Amino acid sequence: MNIGEASHASGVSAKMIRYYEEIGLISPAGRTASNYRVYDRDSVNRLRFVRRSRSLGFSLEETERLLKLWDDKARASAEVKAMALTHVEELETKIAEMQAMRDTLVHLAERCHGDNRPNCPILADLEGHPLRQTATAPRAGGDCCGD
């Protein structure tokens, strides 16, 4: 099949297929006499593998390692499991970081009146002057929108 058909069958864009070939993640496709790329079922299966690996957040390097493990029929599944569990830990860290970002933005947005006045705790925080207030009330002098 040609690159468009391989793209459709695998769910990987033609541009990404060419990129994966360029960086050596997948083997270069065979060529026709007219120099068009030709892909077989094995190539499409590898592309599906790469797409799924990337959709789970594995890096290109991790995906390459997973492909090598997939190719090695004598592999021990322990290495694959260890990679997956390490990735889960990394995802949990990212989730915690994103939750902290979300909580900060919610906190700042709750303190912003969102009116026509220029003072804004969101912009003050981005500028490096975070809100200086207690949990119950802004400090004297007003660090909050509309104060």
Whole-number pLDDT of residue 26: 94
For 13, the 3-state DSSP assignment is coil
Cα–Cα distances in angstroms (integers) from residue 145 to residues 101, 106, 121, in the given order: 20, 15, 6
Whole-number pLDDT of residue 102: 97
Q: Are 39 and 3 in contact (CB under 8 A)?
A: yes
- The CATH number for 53's domain is 1.10.1660.10
- Judge whether 107 lies within some domain: no
Domain count, the chain: 1
- pLDDT per 10-residue tile (average), the chain, 147 residues: 96 97 94 92 97 98 97 95 98 98 95 89 86 45 45
Range of the domain at 29: 3-57
- Judge whether 102 lies within some domain: no
- Judge whether 97 lies within some domain: no
Cα–Cα distances in angstroms (integers) from residue 20 to residues 12, 43, 48, in the given order: 10, 12, 12
For 7, the 3-state DSSP assignment is helix
| Dist. CA 59–CA 114, nearest whole Å | 40
Cα–Cα distances in angstroms (integers) from residue 24 to residues 10, 35, 44, 61, 140, in the given order: 18, 19, 15, 11, 61
- Judge whether 144 lies within some domain: no
- Judge whether 7 lies within some domain: yes
- Judge whether 44 lies within some domain: yes
Count Cα neighbours of 3 within 13 Å in the Cβ-side half-sphere.
17
Q: What is the DSSP letter of 37?
A: E
